[in-house]
Chain A
């Protein structure tokens, strides 16, 4: 089976669970202790699709207050972006329009997946109310803690990376 390698950016505001998401996906585990990401952390994960294997090099960027403080060159050459916010903390998606506009200005025509993380922190009713507050269309609501939708998210992105419009 053919294998291709792709660079993927994982970004979003600080403390939204980006590093935990990647830990859950890459190592199938969740670290309960949050550790502020220093600059960039790079992990590798292979996703096997029926026709092709995708070797994803995931650049876990930032943890900064805004996207503007992340070195621009980190985004170069990437084939996909995952933007993560914390569904239980509205301040984490208060700047989502600006952040997405910035990402789109730097990364043209590549798949961008928007993720609302930490669903485990809300009960079903509050979760539905919180979803109404998010000003953009979210592709996946995930929980790095219990694994909800994490695998699906990365498989969806892998399919997008090989231009498979079927997604899930």
Chain B
């Protein structure tokens, strides 16, 4: 029994081992695979640890650079300078429109401040211009004096004797020739514009006509004057001559040197004009009347010599 039993046990053992070998073969292969993967993973982790250590070094260096102004400057300055150069080169393309719009908006919303800043500069320019004009005036006057005892001078002497106009007046008129700048024909009392001539068309003639009438009304009221009227208004180098007719009056703006004869010469011209071109019955002022009167004013006063 023992012998047989032992033999039997060995066979069982052998069979069991064989069976195990067959059954666990797949498991062993998988274990080997896992073991290989783990080995690879370990290698990767080592590599990552190495990279991480390198990155830590880099971050430390970066923090060090950020905290040290000199090092930061050395790093950042070249980049900033490069960007500034680019902006300088392409500023208009990159910001031209925005800057233009902003400046336009600021100028429009700060007109008063703008004028305040410019006023002293403009003042200096005006001063310079006035000085320049005065120099021209002196030069012309000097020429007049230089002609003393010439044929022209004797002619002037005779003119003075005949007309009573002094040589000084003549010199001033020659240096600053008078010119009709604007003529307003205005309905009395209402202040409505009947006709208008202007060399430059610089302002709203309807409002100027109304304001001139208001000024006349105010003066009459203030001085309780029923028949007296304003005759001239002086403004800088211009003089406004007012001529009253029955249902309308005229305001003539003249620049340059005028004299006592100017008002009379204008009065004659305007009287003729009024009798010919202003209707006796002025019930309504419409564009047809205005355009007709304005056209006649231009014909007469464009080349009119008021002196």
For A42, the closest partner residue in chain B by CB is: B210
Tell me if A71 is interfacial: C-beta within 8 Å of chain B. Answer: yes
Partner of A77, one of B191, B286, B290: B191
Please state if B217 and A7 are interface contacts (CB–CB under 8 Å).
Answer: no
Task: Kindly list chain B residues whose C-beta atoms are within 8 Å of the C-beta of A42.
Answer: 207, 210-211, 214
Task: Kindly list chain B residues whose C-beta atoms are within 8 Å of the C-beta of A71.
Answer: 217-218, 221
For B290, the closest partner residue in chain A by CB is: A5
Please state if A77 and B190 are interface contacts (CB–CB under 8 Å).
Answer: yes
* Min CB–CB distance B32 → chain A (angstroms): 91
Please state if B192 and A57 are interface contacts (CB–CB under 8 Å).
Answer: yes
B13-50 vs A, CB cutoff 8 Å, 1 = contact: the mask equals: 00000000000000000000000000000000000000
Please state if B285 and A5 are interface contacts (CB–CB under 8 Å).
Answer: yes
Tell me if A123 is interfacial: C-beta within 8 Å of chain B. Answer: no
Task: Kindly list chain A residues whose C-beta atoms are within 8 Å of the C-beta of B217.
Answer: 71, 73-74, 76
**Separation of A43 and B206 alpha carbons in the complex (Å):** 9
Tell me if B304 is interfacial: C-beta within 8 Å of chain A. Answer: no
**Separation of A5 and B284 alpha carbons in the complex (Å):** 8
Dominant secondary structure at the A interface: strand
Most A CB within 10 A of own CB, among B187, B188, B192:
B192
Partner of B286, one of A4, A43, A59: A4
Please state if A73 and B288 are interface contacts (CB–CB under 8 Å).
Answer: no
Tell me if A39 is interfacial: C-beta within 8 Å of chain B. Answer: yes
Partner of B192, one of A7, A40, A73: A7
Tell me if B189 is interfacial: C-beta within 8 Å of chain A. Answer: yes
> Known contacts A40-B214, A71-B217: does B191 contact A57 (CB below 8 Å)?
yes
Tell me if B204 is interfacial: C-beta within 8 Å of chain A. Answer: yes
Number of interface residues of A (CB under 8 A): 22
**Separation of A77 and B220 alpha carbons in the complex (Å):** 16
Tell me if A2 is interfacial: C-beta within 8 Å of chain B. Answer: yes
Please state if A44 and B206 are interface contacts (CB–CB under 8 Å).
Answer: yes
A111-130 vs B, CB cutoff 8 Å, 1 = contact: the mask equals: 00000000000000000000
B245-283 vs A, CB cutoff 8 Å, 1 = contact: the mask equals: 000000000000000000000000000000000000000
* Min CB–CB distance B31 → chain A (angstroms): 90
Please state if B192 and A77 are interface contacts (CB–CB under 8 Å).
Answer: yes
Tell me if B287 is interfacial: C-beta within 8 Å of chain A. Answer: yes
Task: Kindly list chain B residues whose C-beta atoms are within 8 Å of the C-beta of A44.
Answer: 204, 206-207
For B288, the closest partner residue in chain A by CB is: A2
Task: Kindly list chain A residues whose C-beta atoms are within 8 Å of the C-beta of B220.
Answer: 73
**Separation of A72 and B217 alpha carbons in the complex (Å):** 8
Tell me if B193 is interfacial: C-beta within 8 Å of chain A. Answer: yes
**Separation of A77 and B216 alpha carbons in the complex (Å):** 14
Please state if A7 and B193 are interface contacts (CB–CB under 8 Å).
Answer: no
Tell me if A138 is interfacial: C-beta within 8 Å of chain B. Answer: no
**Separation of A54 and B191 alpha carbons in the complex (Å):** 16
**Separation of A6 and B210 alpha carbons in the complex (Å):** 11
Please state if A73 and B221 are interface contacts (CB–CB under 8 Å).
Answer: yes
**Separation of A59 and B290 alpha carbons in the complex (Å):** 21
Tell me if A78 is interfacial: C-beta within 8 Å of chain B. Answer: yes
Please state if B190 and A76 are interface contacts (CB–CB under 8 Å).
Answer: yes
**Separation of A147 and B192 alpha carbons in the complex (Å):** 28
> Known contacts A2-B287, A74-B214: does B206 contact A55 (CB below 8 Å)?
yes
Most A CB within 10 A of own CB, among B191, B218, B290:
B191
Task: Kindly list chain B residues whose C-beta atoms are within 8 Å of the C-beta of A7.
Answer: 190-192, 210
**Separation of A72 and B222 alpha carbons in the complex (Å):** 11
> Known contacts A57-B191, A72-B221, A77-B188: does B214 contact A39 (CB below 8 Å)?
yes
Task: Kindly list chain A residues whose C-beta atoms are within 8 Å of the C-beta of B193.
Answer: 5
A-B contact pairs, 27 of them (CB 8 A): A2-B286, A4-B284, A4-B285, A4-B287, A5-B193, A5-B286, A7-B192, A39-B218, A42-B207, A42-B210, A42-B211, A42-B214, A43-B207, A44-B204, A44-B207, A57-B191, A59-B210, A71-B217, A71-B221, A73-B189, A73-B220, A74-B214, A74-B217, A76-B217, A77-B190, A77-B192, A79-B190
Q: Other CB < 8 Å A-B pairs besides A42-B214, A57-B210, A73-B220, 7 of them?
A: A4-B286, A5-B286, A7-B210, A39-B218, A44-B207, A57-B192, A73-B221
Q: Which 10 A-B pairs have the closest CB atoms?
A: A77-B190, A76-B189, A77-B189, A73-B217, A71-B221, A3-B287, A42-B210, A7-B190, A4-B286, A5-B285
